[in-house]
């Protein structure tokens, strides 16, 4: 199994950016955390980050045919990007949304998530543990879908 983890704007500043909201874990530590979980679960993972919406759209599009699923923290683009939503819908890969903070306990404008409309599940407000939950959920989701496809073929 091969997963793509996409992190959006300002996540490269984890540990520095508003630690009262996002915690003290650095982006490098988050990457190690994700790599370690995937290694334990025998999952190949690629982790990417961009502050640019179009690059994130390109990442999603390039995932088609190369990955089994996507885990995405769209960060601020959560609340504004129909383009990312459309890219997720276009590739049709199972996707899971992650947010370190609880977007529903923050400013009203953060309560909207466009990408979630193309995701099979969202993990919101679990800190970096949300990434673990997303990885484990997506692994099970993909495995279950593969079993169902095999059963239909028989």
Q: Which residues are catalytic?
A: 22, 99
Instruction: State residue 7 phi and psi, 5-degree precision.
Output: -115, 135
> What would the DSSP string read from start to end of 95-124?
EEEEESS-GGGS-GGGG--SGGGG-SEEEE
Q: Rounded to whole angstroms, how far apart are CA atoms 49 and 6?
A: 6
The backbone region for 9, taken as left when phi is positive above 0, alpha when psi lies in -120 to 50, beta otherwise, is beta
């Amino acid at each position: 199994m091969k997963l793509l983890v996409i992190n959006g704007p300002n996540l490269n500043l984890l540990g520095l950016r508003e630690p009262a909201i996002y915690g003290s874990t650095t982006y490098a530590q988050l990457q190690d955390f994700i790599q370690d979980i995937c290694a334990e679960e025998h999952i190949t993972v690629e982790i990417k980050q961009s502050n640019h919406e179009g690059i994130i759209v390109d990442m999603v599009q390039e995932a088609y045919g190369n990955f089994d699923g996507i885990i995405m923290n769209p960060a601020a683009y959560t609340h504004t990007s129909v383009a990312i939503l459309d890219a997720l819908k276009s590739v049709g890969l199972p996707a899971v949304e992650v947010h370190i903070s609880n977007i529903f306990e923050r400013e009203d404008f953060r309560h909207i998530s466009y990408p979630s409309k193309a995701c099979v599940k969202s993990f919101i407000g679990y800190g970096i543990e949300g990434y673990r939950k997303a990885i484990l959920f997506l692994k099970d989701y993909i495995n279950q879908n593969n079993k169902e496809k095999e059963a239909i073929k028989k």
